[in-house]
Chain A
Amino acid sequence: MTVVLTPGKLGVGRVGDRALRSDGTPKVQGQFAFASDMIAPGMLWGHTVRSPHAHAEIVEIDISEAVAMPGVHAVLTHADVPGAKTYGLEFADQPVLAIDRVRYYGEAVALVAAEHPEQARRAAELVKVTYRELVPVTDMERALESAPLHAGKPTAGHGYREDDRPNVVRHVVIRHGDPDVEGDVTVTGTYELGIQDQAFLGPESGLAVPDGEGGIDIYAATQWLHVDRRQIAPCLNLPEQQVRLHLAGVGGAFGGREDLSMQIHAALLALHTNRPVKIVYNREESFFGHVHRHPARIWAEHRATREGRIVCVKMRILLDGGAYASSSTAVAANAASFAIGPYAVANALLEATAVYTNNPPCGAMRGFGAVQTCFAAEAQMDKLADLLGIDPIELRLLNAAAPGDVLPTGQRIEGSFPVAATIRAAAALEPPAPEPLPRDPLRLPGGAGNTTRGEGVKRGIGFAVGFKNIMFSEGFDDSTAARVQLFADGSAEVHCASAEVGQGVSDVILQVARTELGTDLVRLAPQTTATVGSGGSTSASRQTWMAASAVRDACRAAIERRDAGDAEVDVEIVYRHAETTPLDPETGQITGDRAHVAFSVCAMKVVAEVDVELGLTRIVWIGAAQDVGRAINPLAAEGQVQGGAAQGMGLAVMEEIQTRNGLITNASFTDYLIPTALDMPAMDVVLVEDPDPAGPFGAKGIGEPPTVTATAAVASALRAASGQPLTRVPVTPEALIGLSR
């Protein structure tokens, strides 16, 4: 591959430029302060005592020995939580510290603060918790017949469909047209996905500093400062003004920092000891510290005409939400909404059910319900193409949806939705020619393991297309605030609390402000709750659209003021995207114009090699076409596609949190494997530009679609190479050689 490097320039990028990251230099120098790098004078180390059981009653907690240990300043339990005892993103069903019951392995039970982490660990060992073990509910189908894990129904009363089965977090039914319509041919399949972990490199960390007046400053790595504060303040029994969240450097997020981890805990310890308290999870604890991607079981049936036109899709999707609700309700809605893929299909019956179990809690992860169904739906498309003898890409083009078509929710597609163009762009990418033998084992399945010199190696090409909503849906009041200050010297400062988690929203903000204000003298203020309104969540691929729109509008308002004669301008505006409304709980149909705001499509062609005797793989190449609306920063957009593809590939070939009776058995980077430099294929990326009239400068968010599509596309290539059905990801060596599914 010829590398054409188009280096950008620092600090001058406008909309559309390959702008370089404003935080790039401190990051390469090791000078960028991540959450775990925070230090304060007199700081104590917090440590969390966690449940060794997946399900148990707490009989007694005895902290007397732990408190007496040298260097220990506090040992806290649920009794020490001064305000609300539970919290949650949408539903406050999770205890700050377990009260009378633990519902998952690793649940927080008590806290220790000490002068050295080793003292905290030794004291934590002496917190004596007496448990009465209960049988854990670990199978998502059996959960629907097991005793309820939560008293009452934490998610009831939110307008969701009535469902009397125990442990249902949410049951979504989308009925579209006439689901009894028959086709000429039918393909069915059952699919399964394991639990994927975000595996961001920077474990949960943060520092809480008492302000001496009863309030607290929390420096944490999070995806949404203001919603953290909304959850934290009631638990501390403080008004929101006394709780200030400041974004500390975020070492990746991918959905895993949408829920709280150590924030309330550090604040409790800090307020209790009146000292700054730092909590740093290690890698094992990180697996207990955040929600994961929902594992799923999916039953699918596609009916089509002989010519390949899909006439009806039925899909039943079961999602294991684990012990607490987190964002399972929205994940279920997404799984159903995008179940059939970006195709125009007149009839469908799509059901998604998220359940409570005693497995690790699941919630947001890049792709958010669409990853799971894309894997199933695209496998079905390949199966249908095979049955009908139609080229799989042609089959997809034949059914591709376009603006004006109606989604299964009854929503008519508006704006940019270039499905066919994106499929064609990926299809046009030319995969590399097969490499001759002999090769270094690094270039063969099994890699450094030296397992083949070419024996048993078969090559296959796969294809998939996926799509996903961008921004929040179903009537959520979704906004982003931006504040712009113009100074007499011609410079400007932008305040926007949209969390920079590595994806590059800071530079999107700066590029937009430079463009709108016509100057390079723009600074981005630290992201905090203290100086600006909510930036909304850094999730749902929403910040490019939301923050860019908000900053654009704020800049324009500021210019208006300046033009009106104000010498120094300070203006804050709140941007909202087009209104969405809930789905009808019975039919799953829209109740207004739309349930989702906008969509983004990604298509990928993948070349894989499989050693069909050992079941080892090498993903050789990924050609990706990503619908971006318009690229505000093509360099950053390519990075999103490449990184998103890597995560999707990881789920396809290696990533799974394994459990036994609810206990995680691979909570480490030794056994939870993510792709290395030797696993990542070469990539060609095409950005498909079809500006969205409603998006800022025509742009759309693109964080998630590459991950949605990659898992399905890699699985498709592995099927082509191995000839095995591969109905479960991650694909195992056993499955690749036909020893199991």
Chain B
Amino acid sequence: MDVLTPRSLSEALALREAHPEALPIQGGTDVMVGLNFDRAHPAALLNLNEVVELREWAPSGDGYRIGAGVTYAEMMSGPLAAEFPALAEASRTVGSPQIRNRGTIGGNLATASPAGDSIPPLVVAGAEVECTSVRGARRIPVADFVTGVKRNALAADELITAIHLRPSGVAETFLKVGPRNAMVIAVCSLAVSAGDELRAAFGSASPRPVLVTAPRGEAATFPAQVAAAASPIDDVRGTATYRRHAIEVLTRRALERCLA
């Protein structure tokens, strides 16, 4: 195994092209578990920690560009939390303080788990993933970027470099059901924003992200609509029946919060 440690974005992209077999590692909160438990045997690792460009965020157009290496902890405070409250709430539910200090939004997308906590608020926000290679950059809506359970649309020579999203400007929230009161993987989760359009996306209840929308006038039936759009399964963390039920309850509560 090799560890490749680029010192700039351009070097990182060149290494990515030259070594498509190298597994990118940023916060390590997913990759290291695979290594420690002998489940992943990558030929090489592409350590992105030294690429400062990935750690930056800034206003961009009418929204923000958040570098892929921005951590959950960073999204929980300051301007990012003020502009993206649901994303901040979701970030607060991720793992532990130690994980939030290290885990990144880009890593969450790369892992593309149905339980990825940042994904529902990003889907509701209509966020786009910036994927960059030596060939150039392209933007993919989050809902399209996640192509299946732990699968994504990243090309072999691309890195996730940033997320682009606009503040919703309306009330929004995030809720997550777990079997204990901290440090859990979502049994199911939900992000909602309530403007003229009601927008919802759930976690751990479908193989790919699903955005459910309805006019504000349909608030009464929206919880049932959202639950109907879910395709949950039974697994070690919960049953499909419970998940569907919980998503309906969460949607109702989210709307009560947002429309209050």
Contact = CB atoms under 8 A, between A and B. Distances in A.
Contact of A451 (B37, B177, B183): B177
Contacts of B245: 737, 739
A284 B37 CA distance: 8
B259 interface: no
A449 B177 contact: yes
B212 to A, nearest CB: 19
Interface in B221-260: 236-239, 241-242, 245-246, 249-250, 253, 256-257
A654 B249 contact: no
B208 interface: no
Contact of A448 (B93, B185, B249): B93
A739 B93 contact: no
A654 B180 contact: yes
A447 B236 contact: no
A676 B180 contact: yes
Given A121-B38, A284-B37, A614 B182 contact: no
B242 A733 contact: yes
A450 B89 contact: yes
Contact of A447 (B181, B185, B189): B181
A679 B250 CA distance: 21
A647 to B, nearest CB: 14
B175 A733 contact: no
A39 interface: no
Contact of B242 (A452, A665, A676, A739): A739
Nearest to A730: B179
A449 B239 contact: no
Contacts of A673: 179-180, 184
B181 A618 contact: yes
A616 interface: yes
B36 interface: yes
B257 A453 contact: yes
Contacts of A740: 239
A668 B180 CA distance: 15
B54 to A, nearest CB: 26
B184 to A, nearest CB: 7
Contacts of A445: 181
Given A448-B92, A618-B181, A734 B239 contact: yes
Given A121-B38, A282-B36, A671-B237, A451 B180 contact: no
- B-side interface size class: 20 to 34
B145 interface: no
A665 B236 contact: yes
B68 to A, nearest CB: 24
Contact of B182 (A670, A676, A739): A676
Contact of B175 (A442, A451, A666, A739): A451
B236 A446 contact: no
B174 interface: yes
Contact of A455 (B38, B174, B256): B256
B164 interface: no
B4 to A, nearest CB: 19
B236 A671 contact: yes
Contact of B176 (A450, A675, A676): A450
Contacts of B89: 450
A450 B249 contact: no
Contacts of A671: 185, 236-237
B71 interface: no
Contact of B177 (A616, A618, A658): A616
A666 B184 CA distance: 13
B6 interface: no
Most A C-beta atoms less than 10 A away, residue of B179, B181, B246: B181
Interface in B27-44: 36-38
A450 B181 contact: no
Nearest to B178: A449
Contacts of B237: 671
Contacts of B36: 282
A734 B177 contact: no
A431 to B, nearest CB: 19
Contacts of B256: 455
B47 interface: no
B228 to A, nearest CB: 18
B173 interface: yes
A193 to B, nearest CB: 17
Interface in A645-682: 653-654, 658, 665-666, 668, 670-671, 673, 675-679
Interface in B15-68: 36-38
A340 B178 CA distance: 35
A570 interface: no
Nearest to B37: A284
A653 B178 CA distance: 12
Given A678-B181, A739-B239, 10 more contacts: A447-B182, A450-B92, A455-B253, A456-B249, A614-B246, A654-B179, A668-B37, A673-B179, A673-B180, A675-B180
By Cβ-Cβ distance, the 6 closest A-B pairs, closest first, are A447-B181, A678-B182, A449-B176, A678-B181, A676-B182, A448-B182
25 contacts: A447-B180, A447-B181, A448-B176, A448-B183, A449-B184, A449-B189, A450-B93, A450-B175, A450-B176, A451-B177, A613-B249, A614-B177, A614-B246, A616-B177, A665-B236, A671-B237, A673-B179, A679-B181, A733-B177, A733-B179, A733-B238, A734-B241, A737-B245, A739-B245, A740-B239
Interface of B: 36-38, 89, 92-93, 173-185, 187, 189, 236-239, 241-242, 245-246, 249-250, 253, 256-257
Interface of A: 121, 282, 284, 442, 445-453, 455-456, 613-616, 618, 653-654, 658, 665-666, 668, 670-671, 673, 675-679, 733-734, 737, 739-740
